Structure 1
Amino acid sequence: MASKMVLEEALMLGELSDFVIKVRDKDFKINRTILSNSSLYFCELFHNNPQMTVCSFPDVSASIMDLIVKYAYTQSVLVLENNVQLLLEAAECFKIKGIVRTCCDFLLQKLNTSNCIWILTLADRYLYPDLKEKACLFILRYFEDVAQYCPDFCNLSAEQLIHLIGKTELNVRQESVVFEAVIRWINYAPAERHGHLVSLMSKVRLNLISVNYLVDTVRVNNLVKGSPKCMAMVTNTMKKLQASNLVRPLARARLPAEVLLAVGGFNDNLPANVIELYNVRTNRWRTVYNKDNLLPEFSQCVYIDGYIYCVGGLLDHRFFSSVTKFNLSTKTWEEAGVMHEARANLSVVTLNGFIYAMGGWNEQETLKSAERFEPGTNQWTQIAPMEHRRADAAAATLHGKVYIFGGLLGNLALSSAECYTPTTNQWTLITPMSVARGAMGAIAYNDQIFVIGGCSHGRRLANVEVFNPASMTWGMVAQMHYPCSNFGVALLEEKLYVVGGIDTQDLTLCTVWCFDADKNQWNFVRDLGRPHGAVSCCLVERVPHASAFPL
């Protein structure tokens, strides 16, 4: 640090200088050796021209050259959104790898749906394979938003667009999005782009589009109607679908960006050792793990950074304080940090990289204690206890806070609810639910928390309450099709999923429901491969963490 300060002072005072760089409106007095250590361009220039003392670069601004010269003296550079492109171009020109790396890291941090195509084009131009790959993956992941909102979408080359929409990894909920993106891109410059229509349409997976949309939108589109080859594609697809009684082939289905994992729980009154994976694109479940080691009953599983953590639980009448974690890459379980208290039927959530474990019960009592786990240190820390003792409660996180609802105190169902603020380490009682319940599910969506089903005073519930933290009020939405408790919950592609559970006959379920909040409607989706009660649901990024699992 001291040497950098000395060199920076020498630069400011013009000391040690033996060369002058001239730009548009400023001269920089620099030391040839110092500049050569950072820039291969200047190293070669000075080596080939040892007598040169002045060099001009009229196309480089003073502000950019100032950053480059300061980097040579300090090995640090301030990259901003308004200078990154010019700085990167200059760093390429002067062969300064350190600035190039810093600019690429900066662009990755700023990657979003507005600039991703510009970054992809920049990476393509200067041959940055890592940056190009990450920008491409980002576009594939958020293609729907990129196609609709990115100002540079229509500036993609035909080759780039063909490459993107040809990928199975393209994340679109409806294939019609791809068709509409193709039409929008061509209509941006129809005279120049009409010749690419057939190549682009061949990448649209027409067999994944509804027949109504094919008839009402695709077939009547003017661009498609004007192309015999495109019309033949549409007609052939419709014939194949009609011949197969509209059963769609799934071999070419797009891959989802995220998958839903159903972990643990129990079936046939025995602890489950199974992990099942749900692919929303194919509406199918697949068993991806089934080994002899049993997960404790009434534990809770959550996902963080490539690991599923199984917390607490009960096995052979023994309460656990232990935690195990499942490595999704290696498909192996390993020990993690031990909680301060053994607990089953606990509530577990993740927030800002931490795992929170709350309540539950052990051999002696129902608990009000709570603790927090930091994966980086593998340590649990006790936090403030809740206001009320509760087991089998439902918990969720929203806007940096932990919420916990209801639960059981012995056989008594609770309606109370609490909110924990990590910055103050305080629990606060909030508006209670209208219906006391335990063994339910809770999940945050659209700035609200949905509390679903459960049981109350010996009967299972189908109703769903919704808590609005802004107004501290409760509302109701559509009920589930029938009452159940002890299920897993997840939010996948803006829909709420209820997985497995126990019905009014005390039977474990394999049914899976999906709630569309916009339509206020529950729908059945594909059943689990086997019944599961008290299952945990984890949402996992397919790339990189679930890429080892077959879909």
Structure 2
Amino acid sequence: MGHFTMKLLNNGNRLYSIKHEHGQLKMFTQMNEYRLRDLFTDVTLKINDQNIRAHKVVLSAGSSYFASMFDSPLIESKLDEIDMTKTIPCPMALNWIIDFIYNSSISLNDKNVLPLLTCSFCLQLDSLSNMCISYLADQLHSSNCVGVLLYAKQYQCEQLETIAQNYVYNHFEDVVRNEEFLNLTASDLYNMIRDDNVKVKCESIIYNAVMQWVRHDPIKRRSELEGLLPCVRLCFLPPSFLEHAKCDEIYGTDDMRKCQEYLSQVYNKLTSHKYCRLPPRRQPIKPLVI
């Protein structure tokens, strides 16, 4: 007979509310079968050389983007063919998303999660966006967190940006050993190392990370040191470290004179014990409690 729930609404009139527990699921399952058989479909989504048949009412129920499109005076609301090529950056992802709208389930992996997340933003599919963000959060690692962070900034996904940024800042020493860190732009690196929330055991980790980044492409990046060095809190390093740093061959040319002078200035203040205004210390790494 199926599964039903009964709720008494009015005891005097013996009035009950009866609900089929799986009725909605069964309806969408049936609609998907109709879609696959091209029954009662009323719209074709075109992307490159693909034609995807669907029902406007189902697309509208699953996506705010489609709901706005079909319930508007725009010409698309009357068309039975919609070109999605300029809207969806990944053609294959559109197939996966239409399946998700009908079935409420999807398979995520490292290869499809970012294309799906991008398309879910375009189609205003909050439920799928949240699933993709949750997946990425669970898969964060020192080797991929920078890429996820930059992606989140590009698409203005604040929730994912916060998650990825916290991971980068909490695992900075491991992050700098990976290729993604070396491929940061100067602007991204600047914003990262100037943040108070970066957690390191010693400021030397920040300095060495900057130098590692510069040496990855020294011809193009040497000139960025003048802006990056002040973001390193050199005053928290021992004078012996700075004395050794000044001798680095990277500072040996005329175009690096300002950087060498800056290092010498900090070194002289530390060794002469003169008062200098200190920036705030970075947050220490919390010990792991087992």
* TM-score with structure 2 setting the length: 0.79
Q: Which of the pair has more CA radius of gyration?
A: 1
Conserved 8 A contact 1:207-1:249? no
Corresponding position of 1:223: 250
What CA RMSD, in Å, does the superposition of the two structures yield over aligned residues? 2.6
Residues 180/129 of structure 1: CA separation in 2 closer, same or farther (3 Å cut): same
- Structure 1 unaligned segments of length 5 or more: list them: 259-491, 494-538, 541-551
Match of 1:208 in 2: 236
Change (3 A) 1:38 1:200: same
Offset, 1:250: 7.6
The corresponding residue for 2:108 is: 79
Q: Is the 8 A contact 2:239 2:271 kept in 1?
A: no
- 1:14 aligns to what SS in structure 2? coil
Contact 1:25–1:62 (8 Å) recurs in 2:
no
* Normalised TM-score (structure 1): 0.44
Query: What do the CA deviations read for 1:58-95 (whole angstroms, capped 9, x no partner)?
Result: 57655312211112213333222110121122223333
Q: Does the alignment pair 1:67 with 2:96?
A: yes
Could you say which residue in structure 2 is the equivalent of 1:52?
79
Q: Structure 1 residue 15 and structure 2 residue 39: aligned?
A: yes
1:34 to 58, 64, 67: 58
Mapping of residues 55-204 of structure 1, within 5 Å: 55-58=82-85, 63-148=92-177, 150-204=178-232
Distance in 2 between the 1:67 and 1:94 partners? 13
Larger helix percent? 2
| Percent of aligned pairs sharing the same letter | 23
Matches within 5 A, 1:392-411: none
1:191 positional shift? 3.5
**Partner letter of residue 224 of structure 1?**
Y
Structure 1 segments of 4 or more deviating over 4 A? 58-62, 247-251
* Maintained 8 Å contact 1:219/1:231: yes
1: CA distance, partners of 2:30 / 2:145: 40
Secondary structure (helix, strand or coil) at the match of 1:138 reads: helix
Task: Please name the residue that 1:237 is paired with.
Answer: 266
Structure 1 residues 224 and 136, CA gap change in structure 2 (3 angstroms): farther
1:255 aligns with 283
Contact between 1:168 and 1:254, CA under 8 Å: does it hold in 2? yes
**CA offsets, 1:100-126, max 9 Å, x none?**
222222111111111101101110011
Aligned counterparts, 1:438-477, within 5 A: none
Whether the 8 Å CA contact 1:23–1:60 is kept in 2: the answer is no
Q: Is the alpha carbon distance of 1:60 and 1:214 closer, same or farther for their aligned partners in structure 2, counting shifts above 3 Å?
A: closer
- Aligned-partner Cα distance in 2 for 1:124–1:168: 19
Query: Unmatched 5+ residue regions in structure 2?
Result: 1-24
SS of alignment partner, residue 183 of structure 1: helix
For 2:200 and 2:135, the matched residues in 1 are separated by: 28
**Aligned partner letter, 1:241:** L
Distance 1:163 1:60, change over 3 A: closer
From the two aligned structures, give the one with the greater strand fraction.
1
Q: Distance in 2 between matches of 1:98 and 1:80?
A: 17
Contact kept, 8 Å, 1:22 with 1:54, in 2: the verdict is yes
Cα distance in structure 1, aligned partners of 2:35 and 2:89: 19
Is the Cα–Cα contact under 8 Å of residues 175 and 206 in structure 1 kept in the other structure? yes
**Deviation, structure 1 residue 147:** 0.5
Matched positions, count: 259
Alignment partner, residue 8 of structure 2? none
> 1:169–1:256: 8 Å Cα contact kept in structure 2?
no
